[in-house]
């Protein structure tokens, strides 16, 4: 069980992707909030997963191969979710 993880503000399926990635990173969230996925996980811009994948190589400096693999997988999983299912609507509960 991960502790003290800052969950993104999104539906459960989006948060689950994030939690799996953090788990695969040994509990370290920082690689997700910088580098190739900074726009998505750092700012809750879940509609930018495709952009981050297209520009992945531009932001990978300073990341290990393992971190990059986890980051790419999280972005690919998010991109597989239809756009209208990536966000919590105003007035909706996150869960």
Looking at per-residue pLDDT, the higher value among 1 and 19 belongs to 19
Q: Model-level pTM greater than 0.75? A: yes
Token duo for residue 74: 């999280």
* Confidence at 88, pLDDT banded by 50, 70, 90: confident
pLDDT tens digits along 32-67: 998 899 999 988 899 999 999 999 999 989 999 999
Which own/partner pairs from 31-34 qualify as long-range (CB within 8 Å, at least 24 positions apart)? 31/63, 31/67, 31/70, 31/71, 32/71, 32/74, 34/62
Burial of 79 (0-12, 13-18, 19+ CB in 10 A): middle
């Amino acid at each position: 069980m991960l502790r003290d993880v800052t969950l993104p503000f999104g539906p459960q399926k989006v948060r689950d992707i994030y939690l799996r990635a953090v788990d695969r990173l040994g509990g370290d969230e920082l690689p997700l909030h910088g580098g190739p996925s900074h726009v998505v996980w750092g700012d809750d811009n879940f509609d930018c997963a495709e952009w981050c994948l297209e520009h992945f190589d531009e932001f990978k400096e300073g990341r290990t191969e393992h971190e990059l693999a986890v980051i790419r997988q999280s972005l690919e999983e998010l991109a597989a979710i239809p756009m209208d299912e990536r966000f919590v609507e105003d007035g909706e509960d996150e869960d």
